[in-house]
A and B are shown apart, each in its own frame.
Chain A
Amino acid sequence: MPVVDVGSVQEAVGALSADRDGRRLIGGGTGLMLMARSGFFVPETLVSLRRADDTELLDIRLTGDVLRIGALCTLRDLELDPAVRRHLPTLAGVLRRISSVRTRNVATIAGCLAHGDPKMDLPTYLMALGAELVVASTAGRRRIALRDFFVGYYETVLDSTDVIVAVEVPTVQPGQFTEYRKFTGTLVEDWPLVSLCLNVDEVDGAIDRAAVTVGALGSKIKRLPQLEEWLLGQERPEITTERNLEELREVAHSEVEAKDDNLASGDYKRKVFQVELVRAVRKWAVTPPRAGFR
């Protein structure tokens, strides 16, 4: 596979437009190269921004209440960055359970999203936090909310000539609680069999805004509006009464579906989702509200 190195986002869009079917943009290559090696998907030519010295692609910048993360930032960059640790304090913990340091050293945030694999951890987490993507194309730039980004199994709204420039993530605010649950089954280190992220804002002990995402279970990572609706207005500690939790499980049961696969039955995965959701909610119920930290 030949690699075309390009020096800027504009050049990348141009290079991809020159042969939209045969060329593919590569980030860290940790996903794409596995696919190519197994013969599952083999692009004719790779387009790479690895030699571009465009700071927009590499910087992590705080603008107001938004952390703007350049597309080529590696997962390891994010894990160690002081601004990320301060403003997205739960992210490092999520990252540490993704693959190995060696992989995190090369995997990029944009590649991790564009891959469209529902078993990825990071998109499930970022979607719950309300992340948005900045995407460049032949028609100029546009913004895409991560919740609207995934279309299906390994499928996103991106056109083959689109280039992700940055990911913007709202920073954590006082009163906010985020819990990412990764259930791997037997092994501690593995892809998730079930994953979910709960991200809520509380005001005076009640949930004021809720985002719940589910990964790994279906063909794409998605938000769960019925669960979010149910969570609104719930108070601590009453949310953890058995009656409330039973209701929560019922909502989860009706909203979350899962298919059988080689690893587990859909039935089992649905049950585990409920267990992990309850554990996340319980954790919120016993965690003191986050104070202002500036």
Chain B
Amino acid sequence: MTAQQLRRDWTSHAWERAIGNIRYTDDDVPRGMTYAALVRARIAHGQITSVERELARDVPGVLGVFTFEDLMTVARDGYHGTGYRDQPMISDGVVRHFGEPVAVVVATDQRIAEYAAGLVDVDYAPLPVVLGDREALANPEALHRDVVPSADFVDLKGLKPLAENPNIYVRSILRTGDFDAVAKSAAHVFEHSFSTASASAAPLETVSSYAIPNRDGSVEMLTQTQMPSYVRVQLARMFGMSESRIRVRHAPLGGGFGFKIYARTEPIVMACALLVGCPVGIKFSMEEQFYLPHRRGTTTTISSAVDEDGKILARRCFIIWNGGAYADVGPRMVKKGGNVAAGPYEIPVVDIESVGVYSNRVPGGAIRGFGIPQIVWAYETHGDIIADSLGLDPITFRRRNLMRRNAVHHTGTPLGPCDPSMVFERMVEELQSRPLVVPEDPELKAGRGLAIALKAVMGPTTSTVKITLNPDASATVHCGTVEMGQGSTIAIEQMVADELNLSLEEVKVVSGDTDSVPWDMGTAGSRSTNHMHKAIGQAADDLRTQLRSLSAAMDTESQIPDDVDPFKVTGGVIEYLRAGFGPMGATLTGVGAFTPDYIPPDINGQSERITEFWMCAATAVDVVVDSLTGVVRIDQMLTISDVGKAINPESVRTQLSGASIMMASISLSEEIRYDDDGQLLNPGLALYRIFGFEDSPKTVYADMVRDEGDEVPRGVGESGTFGVAPAIASAIHDAVGVWMTDLPIKPENVLKAIEEATGD
């Protein structure tokens, strides 16, 4: 396919989404739906002492008012979670965060349910509220007792809370030497602390799910999820049903961002549907979505021992991940974030401790980059401050330290085709062609900054695919990858078309229904295109083998020679199918299943194979700072990413730039705020402010770079987010000479720093 064709395909695909031609989950709600509404806790921590539900029950149209105990009459296990099964469907008698559901009302109409939910009166015996990162770490009272590890993931094997502090539900260590020993004799030692606030993904398609019980006892779940297969696993376990009796369906998502992973509202509507015996749905408002998991706040302390020339000799990091009331994705994020906390730099000695703690915030989840942007924020800004202190420019400092081709990461796993120095030099080259624009107004200061980062793909997890060759040699592809605007459908179509030598029109992707598509861990963590590419390769080989044996029935000269790809024989496939099945032909199905190899790390975090692949990306921004008010506006933002082979370069570029704009918003504007009692102060987009078009950079540019001969696609979307925040901070320093260490970067703090620096 030509570049022009690829561009056209992506544009028409994106256009359908932009003009609203896509049918989303809520566009096709089955008839006869009743609705659930949640009664939410008005405190952040406490014991529920009473739930008064008579008033709500008496409202005409109300079918039931349920507490956790009621839901448990139809569930086998009321708890879910990926690291620990610590999260009850709704509060199990203890409220652990503000807005936690404490009861659920089901009514014939959504408005009736919401009205009746307002009539449920709940009393609490309050308990102490712990919110801050360090406070959570120091909290002597265990927020959870006896949490059960879920054992769903190989990389979380052996997970258990720390005996000395059960609020630390995971601690991850990566150690290659003794930091203090190196620091003692180093020319310079630097230490800085960085923080990030909680943020919400706030997808514009707000969360909904619908459970439809069938007469035969099976249940259909129509929901918005990035992980249909895993939702089915969780529901089957929680409700004691076989997976074949649960059908999870979904439409393309209107925004995922890592927000719509794992079981969220599904267990609640499933329990309600089983209780009332009819279809039950739930539909969140934008405000309510703010009680679903947030990007977790972090505090990172990072120290580096550096020699005279600016070469980093050793680095130590201590990261506190404020996980909120339930661990959710936390254990994995804490481990994966800790693994890469020293950055894409050749550092002989690293010593990293990464801990996840419970608090009374809304649970922490994964949003855009699986925690990596919080880590990059710390190490890249730290690096820039070091360079500045040593009188080195940020480019020289990085050149002296960056990992190069064929490097081995601090974990012991080789970087493979991923080459940070190549990505970096491509960015430097791009910047040279774009001089910084200096505003005429002397009160406005311009500055430029850049950052680079490394991430390992989520894993090890499995993707499977089923490719059916139709009698006319066209292909129907069954796979569980979820389309959410990132362009996965078009990428899969292209990969299959390439592999099977077909045109795009001859390939159809079927997804969105666990009854027909095989297992996929989920569309998250930059895994899908890579894993699906490998699974498709297997499925195509499976088909090749079958075609070969079909052709055995043909004349010797028509059989497929061993060195010939049957898909490359013009008109061949139809003939082989006819040779095997008669003049009408028949379908032939090939399957592929890919799971990466994985070696668990030792006690020092070392493994030769901790990830299937690495991704590296650099971000650069030009900002304009109002030196009198501290307001920062982004003039230009550039992303260079090594995504391996870009299946559809145009869709990759738009994914990268979209991700970078979203992260710019999180870096400058977005912050979940709590009062001292733990009440969330800004749910909803009126109070929680995200970037609009006018806030977005005037120029957004994204491009890709890869090692020669690298023909394997790797991750895309996340990589656009990695370096945005530190690049902004670096640009602010370039403009007005101050370092910002807390996210989001607020105008007031910038102004305060400017005033302190100038002695005003």
A residues adjacent to B (C-beta < 8 A): 34, 39, 183, 185-190, 262, 264-265, 268, 271-272, 275
Contact = CB atoms under 8 A, between A and B. Distances in A.
A275 B695 contact: no
A272 B689 contact: no
Contact of B747 (A34, A185, A188): A185
A186 B682 contact: no
Interface in B620-645: 628-629, 631-632
Interface residues of B, number: 22
A186 B689 contact: yes
A262 B689 contact: no
A34 B686 contact: yes
Contacts of B632: 186
Given A186-B668, A186-B746, A262-B682, A268 B751 contact: yes
Contact of B629 (A34, A39, A183): A183
A273 to B, nearest CB: 10
Given A262-B681, A262-B682, A268-B751, 11 more contacts: A34-B686, A183-B629, A185-B631, A185-B747, A186-B632, A188-B692, A189-B694, A262-B673, A264-B747, A268-B752, A275-B629
Nearest to B747: A185
A272 B669 contact: no
A275 B692 contact: no
B694 A264 contact: no
Interface in B157-213: none
Contacts of A183: 629
B498 interface: no
A187 B692 contact: yes
Contact of A187 (B628, B681, B689, B748): B689
A144 B629 CA distance: 36
A271 B669 contact: no
Given A34-B686, A268-B748, A186 B694 contact: no
13 contacts: A34-B686, A39-B118, A183-B629, A185-B746, A186-B689, A187-B669, A187-B692, A187-B695, A189-B695, A262-B682, A264-B746, A264-B748, A268-B752
Contacts of B744: 186
Contacts of A262: 673, 681-682
Nearest to B691: A187
A192 to B, nearest CB: 13
A42 B748 CA distance: 35
Contacts of A268: 747-748, 751-752
A189 B692 CA distance: 7
B239 to A, nearest CB: 34
- Report the 8 A-B pairs with minimum CB-CB distance, sorted nearest first: A188-B694, A268-B748, A275-B628, A186-B669, A189-B692, A264-B748, A185-B747, A272-B629
Contacts of B694: 188-189
Contacts of A39: 118
B629 A190 contact: no
A186 B669 CA distance: 6
Given A265-B748, A268-B748, A271-B751, A188 B695 contact: yes
A64 B347 CA distance: 79
Contacts of A275: 628-629
B651 to A, nearest CB: 28
A39 B117 CA distance: 13
Contacts of B118: 39
Interface in B25-71: none
A188 B668 CA distance: 12
Contacts of A185: 631, 746-747
Interface in B734-757: 744, 746-748, 751-752
Interface string B666-705: 0011000100000001100010010110110000000000
Contacts of A187: 669, 689, 691-692, 695
B46 to A, nearest CB: 22
Interface string B92-122: 0000000000000000000000000010000
A104 to B, nearest CB: 15
A279 to B, nearest CB: 8
Contacts of A190: 689
B247 to A, nearest CB: 35
A272 B632 CA distance: 14
A206 to B, nearest CB: 26
A264 B668 CA distance: 14
A190 B673 CA distance: 18
A39 B40 CA distance: 15
Nearest to A190: B689
B747 A186 contact: yes
Contacts of B631: 185-186
Contacts of B752: 268
Contacts of B692: 187-189
Contacts of B751: 268, 271
Nearest to B686: A34
B470 to A, nearest CB: 47
A16 to B, nearest CB: 26
A293 B523 CA distance: 63
